[in-house]
Amino acid sequence: MSNNLLAGKKGIITGALDENSIAWKVALKAKEQGAKFVLTNAPVALRMGGIQELAKECNTEVIPADATSVDDITKLYTESKEILGGNFDFLLHSIGMSPNVRKGKAYNDLNYDWLQKTYDISAVSFHKMMQTADKMDIMNQYGSILGLSYIAAQRTYPFYNDMADAKALLESIARSYGYHFGKRKNVRVNTISQSPTPTTAGSGISGFDSFYNFAEKMSPLGNATAEECADYIIMMFSDFTKKVTMQNLFHDGGYSFTGISEELIEEMK
Ligand code: NAI
């Protein structure tokens, strides 16, 4: 169903790894809503190949970029501007990775070199994407920039490990850069705090199935799917949300504001 919500808009979509990725769904929906965009992912992720099929389907190109490298981001923006024929209206940061999570290091036994990598990949890269866009003056007036977060930024979920601290930093960067980008260019910056979602990044967290089921039972509307997250992202990129900025927006079926649900009480009996 297209309402051409993004007609004439141009942007960058990071993080589409496979068809489960939230960014993958965003790309399909952005295309459907009339946007033009370039896809990007880390060079190592491109070897998996799927993203080229997505690019074909979206009639666009893939430019490899490691989001921790300012040089890569600069090259990505320069080439994308050429391909798209102008500056950007939206940027999606849909990137997360923790070597500590991946290698099974517990929160009370972290490898600090890996912790730096977690922060750099999952949070500081958001700052790098914005600062580079800012310096290159490559965002259009009333553009929209989004990152993806998780409620472990506010409350303790022991299994979420050092990603919890990375998400807290990501949300803080959105607030801080939101001020500067708002003042200078009327560009809005937000994070969307999404339900647990069965993707590569999501299911890499230990105990994912249990907390997915727990969240499903806790949320009055049930967990938000990747597809529904993509719908929200499209709305945030559209002109209907021009004055929403510096927010962490919960997209979780009501999970974050539910104390306990009847289903869970029933299970405790
Ligand atoms: P995904 O695994 O499909 O996407 C993560 C992406 O990050 C991958 O495409 C990966 O290649 C990319 N990436 C990793 N290192 C990179 C680097 N150095 N440079 C550029 N790209 C890099 O998983 P998903 O779930 O779609 O993740 C997207 C975002 O949503 C992440 O920020 C994640 O933390 C967040 N999120 C996911 C939830 C879930 O349960 N799946 C819940 C809440 C937020």
Per-residue pLDDT of the chain (269 residues; tens, 9 = 90+): 788 999 999 999 999 999 999 999 999 999 999 999 999 999 999 887 689 999 999 999 999 999 999 999 999 999 999 999 999 999 999 999 999 999 999 999 999 999 999 999 999 999 999 999 999 999 999 999 999 999 999 999 988 999 999 999 999 999 999 999 999 999 999 999 999 999 988 888 888 899 899 999 999 999 999 999 999 999 999 999 999 999 999 999 999 999 999 999 999 99
* Residues 162 and 222: beta-carbon distance below 8 Å: no
CA of 267 to the centre of ligand 1 (A): 32
- Residue 167 is labelled as binding a ligand: yes
- Residue 36 is labelled as binding a ligand: no
**Strand residues in 55-200 grouped as ranges (E):** 62-64, 88-93, 139-149, 188-194
Region of residue 256 (left: phi > 0; alpha: psi -120 to 50; beta: else)? alpha
Decide whether any atom of ligand 1 lies within 6 Å of the 68 Cβ: yes
CA of 266 to the centre of ligand 1 (A): 34
Decide whether any atom of ligand 1 lies within 6 Å of the 66 Cβ: yes
Decide whether any atom of ligand 1 lies within 6 Å of the 225 Cβ: no
Q: Please write the tens of the pLDDT for every residue from 92-110.
A: 999 999 999 999 999 999 9
Residue the block writes with tokens 């952005």 = 30
* Residues 101 and 204: beta-carbon distance below 8 Å: yes
- Mark whether 232 is an active-site residue: no
> What are the tokens at 162?
């050092």
3-state secondary structure 124-161: HHHHHHHHHHHHCCCEEEEEEEEEEECHHHCCCCHHHC
- Residue 260 is labelled as binding a ligand: no
Decide whether any atom of ligand 1 lies within 6 Å of the 199 Cβ: yes
Strand partners of residue 11: 37, 90
CA of 258 to the centre of ligand 1 (A): 26
Containing 12, the helix (H) or strand (E) segment is strand 10-14
> What are the tokens at 9?
């808009």
Decide whether any atom of ligand 1 lies within 6 Å of the 17 Cβ: yes
State residue 206's pLDDT score. 82
CA of 94 to the centre of ligand 1 (A): 5
- Mark whether 150 is an active-site residue: yes
